[in-house]
Amino acid sequence: MRSLLYLFGCLIVLGLILFSCTKDKGRDPELAFSDKALLDSCKNSIAFKYYKDKPDSVYTGVHGPHGAFKLKFNKIAFAALTASGKLPLTAKFPNGAMVVKEVVSGGEISLFALMYKHNNSWLWAEIEPNSKVLYSVNKESSVCTSCHNQAGNRDLVTSFNFY
């Protein structure tokens, strides 16, 4: 009887340990593609490389709606770029690629405009550093693709056309 109680106690402790170690991400892998998770990724500066390896370059943004910006790529996206810092014409970024415009106003980042490649499609978002979502990854993306689908297409990243 005593060994049965001991075994039962061990099972309860093991169950509590296993239950307390589960994370929501494990239960719902799509949470990794939420606005909040992608914003957290944008803020992780060591996970990105700036366009043409120039972190101080601010581009005018006169060719689009976002304004002056810095452009950066996560390691997956950066690996797809040529030595000139651009994606080859007609090439595609692999899944997991992330391209971020850090929109700059008054020397500060005022907005993250991002593209994240998931299941061979882009997720689009515009999120302020304070987590205010202006355009969610959960919205239909035609408002983004209508501008990004221009001549000189490099997987919908139009910055390569102008800078």
Its domain, for residue 125, covers 30-162
> Does residue 68 have a pLDDT over 70?
yes
Overall average pLDDT of the 63-90 stretch: 91
Report the pLDDT value the prediction gives residue 80, as an integer from 0 to 100.
Answer: 96
Tell whether 4 is covered by a domain: no
Q: What is the pLDDT of residues 10-66, one digit of tens each?
A: 445 445 444 444 444 455 555 678 899 999 999 998 999 999 989 999 999 888 778
Q: What is the pLDDT of residues 105-158, one digit of tens each?
A: 999 999 999 999 999 999 999 999 999 999 988 877 666 766 777 766 789 888
Number of domains the chain contains:
1
Tell whether 12 is covered by a domain: no
User: What predicted TM-score, i.e. pTM, was given to this entire model?
Assistant: 0.78
CATH code of the domain in which 100 resides? 3.50.70
Tell whether 72 is covered by a domain: yes
Report the pLDDT value the prediction gives residue 90, as an integer from 0 to 100.
Answer: 86
Tell whether 23 is covered by a domain: no
For residue 78, which of 100, 57, 102 has the smallest C-alpha distance? Answer: 100
Give the whole-angstrom CA distance, residue 105 versus residue 10. 58
Tell whether 20 is covered by a domain: no
Tell whether 82 is covered by a domain: yes
Give the whole-angstrom CA distance, residue 95 versus residue 99. 12
Give the whole-angstrom CA distance, residue 87 versus residue 79. 10
Report the pLDDT value the prediction gives residue 119, as an integer from 0 to 100.
Answer: 92
Tell whether 155 is covered by a domain: yes
H-run or E-run covering 76 = helix 75-79
Tell whether 13 is covered by a domain: no
**Higher pLDDT, residue 145 or 99:** 99
